[in-house]
Amino acid sequence: MSQSSALHMQTPNPIKKKIITALIAVVVGHMGVLWAVGQMKTPELKSIEKEPLKVRFVKIQEPPKELPPKPKAEPKKEKPKPKEVKQVKIVEKQLPPPPKKVEKVQQVKKAETAKPVVKPVEAKPTPSPVVTTTVSETKVIKSAPAPAPVAPPAPSTPPSPKSVSIGDSGAQWSRTPKPLYFDKDLDGQTRTAMVYLEANEKGAITLVRIVRSTGLPALDEKILRAVRSSKFKPYKENGVASPIKTNLPFELAFNPRG
């Protein structure tokens, strides 16, 4: 067995021979190509003369910056037209002409000339002066007195409320007052109070005040709120409604059992 294996090792494989010969042929081919390339002369290239390039520098202008928009001019406010002034003609009343002065001229008769005395030379009588008196008369015209201003009528005073009772023959409730309270508000005892009230012609409460207190201000306030929210029916006498006034008693009972 050992001899046969040695024989196999010594005899070369035909496939390997083919591969080796192919590799040798490829190497030889490459070497031939390289040698051929090395033997080739490089062709001489003709130099091409070109004109020199002319370069011109151009200054690039920056685009104009956008200016902010101008503010819109505010519309001019029209001046208010002056109001037309109406011309009022003033009519001047012509005053009556002043009374004419009446001049009375009293002529004094010439005094009788004295009788001439028989003398060789007659003396001329001296004339007496004439005295004139001027009397002026002025008439005073009295203007009629201006009429006295008429006083405005005095405002009518509201009718005073009538004192009535509450019941069948008196005022009738339209909405009865109901104080809302608890036993703790009474402080352990029954409380009484008296309230004076007034109502107008329509029955609405116009005035409320405590006449006799319960002794507890908080409880009095609850009673007043209940009375203010109440209302009477209009009280009428002979078919005419009138305001009323009355005293209203209250008794708030305490229930110890709650």
- Give pLDDT tens digits along the chain (258 positions): 444 554 445 555 788 888 999 999 999 999 988 888 887 766 666 667 777 777 777 777 776 666 666 666 666 666 666 666 666 566 566 666 666 655 554 444 444 444 555 554 555 555 555 555 554 555 555 555 566 666 666 656 777 898 998 887 788 999 999 999 998 999 899 999 999 999 999 999 999 999 999 999 999 999 999 999 999 999 988 889 999 999 999 999 988 775
At residue 7, the pLDDT reads: 45
Q: Which residues contact 120 (CB under 8 A, 6 or more apart)?
A: none
pTM reported for the whole predicted model: 0.40
Decide if 257 contacts 200 (C-beta within 8 A). Answer: no
Query: Which class is domain 162-252?
Result: alpha beta
Give the ranges where the chain is alpha helix by DSSP (H). Answer: 2-10, 14-39, 217-228
At residue 90, the pLDDT reads: 64
At residue 212, the pLDDT reads: 95
244-252/162-163 β-pairing: parallel
Q: How far is residue 137's CA from residue 131's CA, in Å, rounded to a whole number?
A: 20
Q: How far is residue 96's CA from residue 188's CA, in Å, rounded to a whole number?
A: 96
- Among 253, 195, 186, which Cα is nearest to 228's? 195
Decide if 196 contacts 208 (C-beta within 8 A). Answer: yes
At residue 97, the pLDDT reads: 65
Both tokens of 122, joined, read: 């007659």
Is 254 buried (19+), middle (13-18) or exposed (0-12) by CB count in 10 A? Answer: middle
At residue 6, the pLDDT reads: 47
Q: How far is residue 18's CA from residue 183's CA, in Å, rounded to a whole number?
A: 131
